[in-house]
Amino acid sequence: MSQKIRGVKGTRDVLPIDTYVKDEDPWVRVGHYHLVEQSARDLFPLYGYREARTPVLERTELFVRGIGEVTDIVGKEMYTFDDRGESVTLRPENTASLVRAYVEHNVNQQEPETKWWYAGPMFRRERQQRGRYRQFTQIGIEAFGSPGPRIDAEQVELLDRWLRVLGVPFEMHLNTLGDASCRPKYREALQAYLRSRAPELCEDCQKRIETNPIRVLDCKNPKCQEVAAAAPKMEQFLCEPCKVHFAGVQEMLQRLGVPFVVDPKLVRGLDYYTRTTYEAIATSGLGAQSTLAGGGRYDGLVKDLGGPDVPGIGFAAGVERLALLLAQEGKERATRPVVFIAPLGDAEAARADQLAQQLRAAGLAAEVSFRKSNPGNQLKRADTLGARFALVLGDQELKSDRAKLKELKTGAQHEVTLSGFADEVRKLTGGPR
């Protein structure tokens, strides 16, 4: 045998079956992903979001300019390589890419206000942990052209509804980061305070004081959190328009009946955020990697990336973390066969294939047995597949056109004809068409 080739560290396979179960990191199956993705596909268009797909590969410059040089992502997490003289990067997030596409295709000339959603893999070279991988999946939305605050509240309400549809436990956190006219003053005050307590901070945060002081507020180190708790708050520095904006978002959320907590420590790691920021945080089941989705307003980004002065706001959710929660709760979306057909001989096999074809054409999932074995084993196999009914097809059934369809859970037997099989199954299930 040749040597096995393993997957790259920090990446994972998502299979239809459980290949292992580890308590600290339950196996996530494709069916859990489907539940997350399908609910987004169903829900987001109800709010006017349409899907956009951009490449996984972008010019490195896009993220350096779009995300900011002093962020963790650009500083140390990107997969960047030289493509024959051009530096390219596997996207670590999708907002910068969507903005690039928005600018490149002059979308604002056709649709000054537009709402997009996306789903796909992102890449960051982080330390692998439960809920933190090097290739992971994000589903997110971006709305361009609306200054808010109504769209801000609408997005938070969308995120709230989506997570409720999925049934995951979470709390919505809300904050404002101010804008270009008030944040610099806050940044200075924060910097002065942090310098005075620098020795208490972790090594990373000591560097952040000068490069990205706001990020200290968000450090997970307990000592840094202690220092952050007594730091000056953005709220005291907000300019009048930012104050009015933030009050507006809160008022609208209350009107829409969306629960939230104002969390002054909520800051986002990326440079481009302004004003409203929000995060949905899992209240149980995920340990330290508990942020399910993070979002916020980025009014300067489109312009920074060479476009017109168009405001934007969006969020990105981590599909793996959502899927982990669903897996823990035993929820998944799976298509199981409605009928499992077990033919006993060659003539029956040909008929079984035909019956399965008719069932599928009627929108009913069907499986035929490709193995020769006794009816008892066939029923066992039907059970393992999670089929609702099993049909054992022998010589007798073929001749008489009559058969007994066994309902596996209850053991009930239904008399059916082979000539009208698909119709009769459909009536029994109340299934499609």
Residues that bind ligand ATP (CB under 6 A): 93, 124, 126, 131-133, 136, 138, 269, 289, 291-294, 316-318, 320-321
Distance CA 210, CA 327 (A): 42
- Amino acid present at 352: A
Residue 114 region by backbone torsions, left for phi larger than 0, else alpha for psi between -120 and 50, else beta: beta
- Nearer Cβ to ligand ATP (263/423): 263
Distance of closest approach, residue 35 Cβ to ligand ATP, in angstroms: 16
Cis preceding linkage at 213, omega within 30: no
- Amino acid present at 422: A
**DSSP characters for 73-141?**
IIIII-EEEEETTEEEEE-S-SHHHHHHHHHHTTHHHH-SSEEEEEEEEEE-----BTTB-SEEEEEEE
Question: Which residue, judged by CB position, is nearest to ligand ATP in the bound state?
Answer: 318
- Nearer Cβ to ligand ATP (273/340): 273
Distance of closest approach, residue 288 Cβ to ligand ATP, in angstroms: 9
- Nearer Cβ to ligand ATP (65/388): 65
Contacts of 85 (CB under 8 A, 6+ apart): none
Distance of closest approach, residue 119 Cβ to ligand ATP, in angstroms: 12
Distance of closest approach, residue 79 Cβ to ligand ATP, in angstroms: 12
CA torsion, ordered 269, 247, 316, 335, to nearest 10 deg: 150
Please answer whether residues 15 and 30 qualify as being in contact, where contact means their C-beta atoms are separated by less than 8 angstroms.
yes
Distance of closest approach, residue 28 Cβ to ligand ATP, in angstroms: 11
Distance of closest approach, residue 333 Cβ to ligand ATP, in angstroms: 20
Distance of closest approach, residue 92 Cβ to ligand ATP, in angstroms: 8
DSSP conformational letter for 2: P
- Nearer Cβ to ligand ATP (156/349): 156
- Nearer Cβ to ligand ATP (71/378): 71
Helix (H) or strand (E) holding 58: strand 57-59
Query: What distance separates the 2 farthest-apart alpha carbons in the chain?
Result: 91
- Nearer Cβ to ligand ATP (120/269): 269
- Nearer Cβ to ligand ATP (136/298): 136
